[in-house]
Amino acid sequence: MELLLTNFFNLDILRQAWPYLLSGFGMTLLLCLVVIPLGVIGGLTVALLARARNPIVRWLTVIYVDFFRAFPPLVLLMFIAFGLPFLKIDLGAFGAVALAFLLNTSSYYGEIFRAGIESVPRGQFEAARSTGLSATQTMTYVVIPQATRNVIPDLISNTLEVVKLTSIASVVALPELLYAARQAQSLTYNATPIIAAGLIYLVCLWPLVRLLSRFEHKQIAMH
């Protein structure tokens, strides 16, 4: 017990590590504020392109989605972070993370929006067009709002995964929460900062997990 307290829940160490953890948490928050909207907008674009009239555009979209869904995100991130500088393209750690997340998450959000758009009955398109709305207006005012509502649980679930995934940015030395915790650990020779970082993730994400598990039960029960 004593061992556990001094190594995992050491308040002195926590006090020293706190400024690091706080700035790491800020970076994680900033990262989420950038990559989630990027991923959602990218995903919506992908879903719309998957329905394009031009078959070549449709095929390229399918290839894009499958390609980036098959790639482990960390592999993609390393490829971008270490490979691109050789082409004299230096995005910096934050830029590399943002690009990797855009490519990865837009394909996941894209699949979700695609399923959502498919769940809107055809009659809705036809009715909207027959009232004189243009194709673009039909999409923005009639189809996408309904599609989004139908897939809200999947959107939340994917967003939770994206937030958790931001921890891989620590591998390319972006000073987010996990990176800050590891640094504090190596400075203090104590595991408390890592435990604290875990608790911060837990406190922030637990409400989402509860919400999701309620949605999931409903979804399977309705099958």
Partner 1 sequence: MLDRLIDTFFNFQVMGQYLPKIVEGFFLTVQLAIAVVITGIVAGLLLALVRSFRLRLVNFFIIAFVDVMRALPPLVLIILLYFALPSVGIKFSGFVATWLALAAVLAAFAEEIFWAGILAVPKGQWEAARSTGLSYVQTLTNVVMPQAVRLTIPPLTNRTIAITKGTALGAVVAVGEILYQAQSAYSFSYNPSPLTLGAIAYLILFIPVVYLGRWVETRFAWKR
Q: Exactly one of 16, 23, 146, 167 binds partner 1 (CB under 8 A); which one?
A: 167
> Is residue 9 part of the contact set for partner 1 (CB under 8 A)?
no
Question: Residues 165, 174, 180, 184: which binds partner 1 (CB under 8 A)?
Answer: 165
Strand, coil or helix: 138: helix
Tokens at 217, concatenated = 């039960």
Give, as ranges, the residues between 130 and 159 that touch partner 1 (CB under 8 A).
none
Are 103 and 77 contacting, i.e. CB atoms less than 8 angstroms apart? no
79 binds partner 1 (CB under 8 A): yes
Tokens of 159: 């967003």
Largest Cα–Cα separation, the chain: 74
Q: Does 59 bind partner 1 (CB under 8 A)?
A: no
| Residue 216 within binding range of partner 1, rule CB under 8 A | yes
Whole-number Cα distances in Å, 158 to 104, 148, 206, 223 = 11, 13, 15, 21
Q: What is the dihedral of CA 212, 213, 219, 223, to 10 degrees?
A: 150
Among 19, 37, 145, 198, binds partner 1 (CB under 8 A): 198
The reply to whether 83 sits near partner 1 by the rule CB under 8 A is yes
Of residues 42 and 201, the one with the C-beta less far from partner 1: 201
Q: Considering just the CA atoms, what is the radius of gyration of the chain in Å?
A: 21
Report in angstroms how near the CB of residue 143 gets to partner 1 at its nearest.
17
Binding positions for partner 1, rule: CB under 8 A = 3-4, 7-8, 66-67, 69-75, 78-79, 82-83, 86-87, 119, 160-161, 164-168, 170-171, 178, 182, 185, 190-191, 194-195, 197-198, 201-202, 205-206, 208-210, 212-213, 216-217, 219-221, 223
